[in-house]
Structure formats: structure tokens, C-alpha cells
Amino acid sequence: MRLTMDVTTWYLEQTSPADLRPAKPPAIELDVVRAEVPSPEFSRFLYTAVGGDWQWTDRLPWTWRQWADFLDRGVETWVAYHRGTPAGYAELLPQDDAAVEITSFGLLPWAIGRGVGGHLLEAGTARAWDLAGRRPDREPTRRVWLHTCSLDGPAALANYRARGFRVYDARTGVPGDADEGSTPGPWPGAGPRDRG
């Protein structure tokens, strides 16, 4: 797939736990739970189910081993569930410089517009800040960062800012080609779903 339009990528950060601003309660009952058993299958499911409508293609060509190696880097996956059904997730990658990157964040299509995004982002960011409490080998987190782009959901950037993230860099350019076979969607051949 070739994208020929310019895409803007924003890089955002928090540098203190005090930066995190609370969200309104979600409109539906939610439980945010850590997926404690690293699972390439589950991680790929979340990535494709959330990112299918937003051109998330970078990881689609990954093999099972590449997913497993990524998760083995200490990744934490926090999943929001409504009545046992995944609604969205936040993926946290600890880094060497006492930073934590939120490498993936988003909602499954059915959960959009139900107040889930703010609540999940608040919960996921709080878990990035208190990561050292679950990992005694780590020093306390000093920075939480992420990036989003103009292909992501229309509320993404506003949600990050509302939770206290600040833009520290922005870049505009044409993204490279996705690899052969990296069609977005939750399964090969699936594209954005009609929400009409």
C-alpha cells in the first residue's frame, strides 16, 4: 500500500507524575487489567483490531518470533474490558533512560465515543509512572512519552493533551511503503469497517 499524502507525526511527553490529568468517568463499566502472560497472538489481535482503521501497518509483517522478542523487552499490556470484551489497550515499553514509551494506545471500533479513551489513557499513563513499583530492577520513571499522527483517530491528539501530555516535536512527511501483505485490519484482506 502506498500513502501519497503528507502525514504529520506529533511527539508528546510528560516529565512528572503530576502532569497526568484525570479523565471523566467512562460511559460504560470498565475494568483495566494487565495481560500478565506475554502473548504474541493476543498482542497482534489488539494491534490489528485497534489499528485497522488507522493505517497501523508497521508490525503487520512481524513473525510470531518478532512479536515474542518485542514483548520480552519488558512490555506491559493494559487492556480495558467491558463485560469481558476488550474495549482498548495501552502498551508500555520501559526504556533504559528511566523513560516509558506508550508504544500503542487505542480503542476497538465499538468502544469509540463511549468515554473509554480518556479513562484508559489515564490508567495506562499512571501504570507507566508507577512501573518501578512492579519492577524492582528499575529506577522510578522520569518521563512518559508517545507519538501520534494525522492518520490516527480524530480525537487522539486532543485526548493526549487533555491528559497532560505536551508536544515536544512535530514532523511532516510522506510515510514509506508498507510491506507486501500488510493490509490493515484485524485479518488479511480486512480494511476499515463501515461505521455508517
pLDDT in tens, 4-46: 678 899 999 999 999 999 999 999 999 999 999 999 999 999 9
What is the pLDDT of the chain when averaged over all its residues?
A: 88
pLDDT confidence of residue 6? 85
pTM over 0.95: no
The three three-digit cell numbers of residue 129, written as one number: 509512572
CA distance 109 to 121: 16
Q: Each residue of 143-176: pLDDT tens digit?
A: 999 999 888 888 899 999 999 999 999 999 866 5
Q: Each residue of 92-113: pLDDT tens digit?
A: 999 989 999 999 999 999 999 9
Distance of CA 170 to the CA centre of its chain: 18
**pLDDT tops 50 at residue 114:** yes
CA distance 167 to 4: 25
pLDDT confidence of residue 31? 97
What is the residue whose three cell numbers read 493533551? 161
pLDDT confidence of residue 1? 46
pLDDT confidence of residue 152? 84
**pLDDT tops 80 at residue 195:** no
DSSP sequence for the chain: ----S-EEEEEEEESSGGGPPP-PPPSS--EEEE--S--HHHHHHHHHHHHGGGT--TTTT--HHHHHHHHTTT-EEEEEEETTEEEEEEEEEE-TTSEEEEEEEEE-GGGTTTTHHHHHHHHHHHHHHTGGGT-TTSPPP-EEEEEEETTS-TTHHHHHHHTT-EEEEEEEEPPPPPPTT---SSSTT--PPP--
pLDDT confidence of residue 65? 93
Strands of 31-34's sheet, edge to edge?
Answer: 31-34, 76-82, 85-94, 99-107, 143-149, 7-14, 166-173
Find out whether 116 and 80 touch, Cβ atoms under 8 Å. yes
Domains and CATH numbers, the chain: 7-173 (3.40.630.30)
Find out whether 160 and 154 touch, Cβ atoms under 8 Å. no
Strands 143-149 and 99-107, how do they pair? parallel
> Residues, the chain, total?
196
Q: Each residue of 171-194: pLDDT tens digit?
A: 998 665 444 444 455 545 444 544
